[in-house]
Amino acid sequence: MAILKPFKAVRPTRDKANLVVSRSYHIYSKEGLEFRLKNNPYSFLQILNPGYKYDQEINGKKEFNLVRNRYLEFKDEGFFTQDNTPNFYLYKMITREHTFIGIVGATAVEDYEKNVIKIHENTLEKREQLFKEYIDTVGFNTEPVLLTYPRNNILDELFLDIMKERPEYEFSTTDRIAHHVWLINNEDILNTIQNEFTKIDSLYIADGHHRCASSALLAQDYKQNGQFVQGISQNYFMSFLIPEEDLKIYEFFRLVKDLNGLSKKEFLIALDEVFTIENCGLQPQNLKQLHHFNMYLDGEFYQLHLRSRYQEFNNTLDTLDAQILYNLVLQPILGITDLRNDKRIDYLPGNKTIVELKNQVDNGDFKVAFGMLPIDVNQMKRIADEGLQMPPKSTYIEPKLRSGLTIYEF
């Protein structure tokens, strides 16, 4: 059974919500970040980038303390308010291609530790520790972990009824995404939602593995230091939960800076051992099945079809095209062993166009690029159920939520 609790969110006042919310700060270009910091004093980016006030780059513990100070200033100035009673928050996001409807609530560290909340991706210890220190210092989290659950008709009907009422927030952002948020504080409805989640055996992390791991580490610290209190906020973390088939999963393109000392002909010969190779010339072809790959090299597009003798797999992870590409190309031919830290490889989300991929190779930044079909949610679940982890950057998953719309205080 999965635990989901309402909480008292800190959130922007209705008149400032569209000005406060931001995407994750690392998504912005340097110029875009500068523009928003200069022209929008209400942006949550002002909190996340406290050094801007002093025209200085600040890192580490000093930065975390300043983030905390800037957050408290926003509260003191009345930009934020905190709900008096615990709520769930129904969130509807409408993009040009998709509509996402889910619920924001507090999920349990205990469920993460007991594998009720299941992972499919490895985390880096250094990032876990850094984020743990960050949330312990600043005292809040504003980016929900994205979790998915099997579709539930009772919840679907309940959410449709709630959405007949006027939302607390209703605004659009400059990327043409409409945002709607409803507060849920009716006791009967809160109990119904919680009861329905107790019937769910497993939740799956779609995005936010490091945030889950860091929250678990913080809760462990409290226990070891004798500060553990049953039910306190450190035992939970904020999550956004949506039905699993509503996720939009993209692939990541792989871009590699060189051919590991091989000539173009030598590289193609090495690939020929593993794939049948089709030269598509200047026109890329859509992939139609798994274990087929697009490649762009020296001004031409290719399709690589995995030879049948390499299609004997031991587990679900081995069937993933991202894993196949690593096992048969990136590691043995191109010499890339560390997909997270090797500076010779980079990644481009699959929601970008093939033109953007082509341009990055044509301008000389990279020598070769690879594309593949995205995985589906069932593959992701099977990998988590088998206790396996995908290679990094195996999935680019939407929705991507805004920072600053609901804030979870520790």
Q: Where are the domains of the chain?
A: 4-249+398-409, 252-373
Question: What's the pLDDT at 121?
Answer: 82
Question: To 10 degrees, what angle do helices 125-138 and 60-76 make?
Answer: 40
The residues near 406 (Cβ < 8 Å, ≥ 6 apart) are 9, 10, 11, 89, 104, 142, 144, 181, 238
CA distance 187 to 197: 16
Question: What's the pLDDT at 410?
Answer: 85
Q: Environment class of residue 196 by beta-carbon count within 10 Å: exposed (0-12), middle (13-18) or buried (19+)?
A: middle
Q: Is the dihedral of CA 59, 61, 64, 68 positive or negative?
A: negative
CA distance 392 to 382: 17
How would you label 157-194 residue by residue, b for 16+ Cβ within 10 Å and e otherwise? ebbeebeeeebebeeeeeeebebbbbbbeeeeebeebb
Per-residue pLDDT tens for 85-143?
Answer: 999 999 999 998 899 999 999 999 999 999 999 998 877 788 889 999 999 999 999 99
The residues near 44 (Cβ < 8 Å, ≥ 6 apart) are 20, 21, 22, 142, 403, 404
- Percent of the chain at pLDDT > 90 equals 77
**pLDDT-based confidence at residue 58 (cuts at 50, 70, 90):** confident
**pLDDT-based confidence at residue 68 (cuts at 50, 70, 90):** very high
What is the distance, to the nearest Å, from the Cα of residue 107 to the centroid of all Cα atoms in its chain? 17
Residue 158, pLDDT above cutoff 70: yes
CA distance 116 to 120: 13
Per-residue pLDDT tens for 343-386?
Answer: 999 999 988 888 888 999 999 999 999 999 999 999 999 999 99
What are the backbone angles phi and psi of residue 350, rounded to the nearest 5°?
-70, -5
CATH of region 252-373, choose from 1.25.40, 3.30.1490, 3.30.1760, 3.40.50: 3.30.1760
Q: Is the dihedral of CA 14, 18, 19, 21 positive or negative?
A: positive
- Which tokens sit at 239? 């999550």
Question: What's the pLDDT at 226?
Answer: 61
CA distances from 338 to 41, 178, 275, 327, 334 (A): 40, 39, 23, 12, 12
Cis peptide before 86 (omega within 30 of 0): no
CA distance 210 to 41: 29
Residue 229, pLDDT above cutoff 70: no
Residue type at 166 in one-letter notation: R
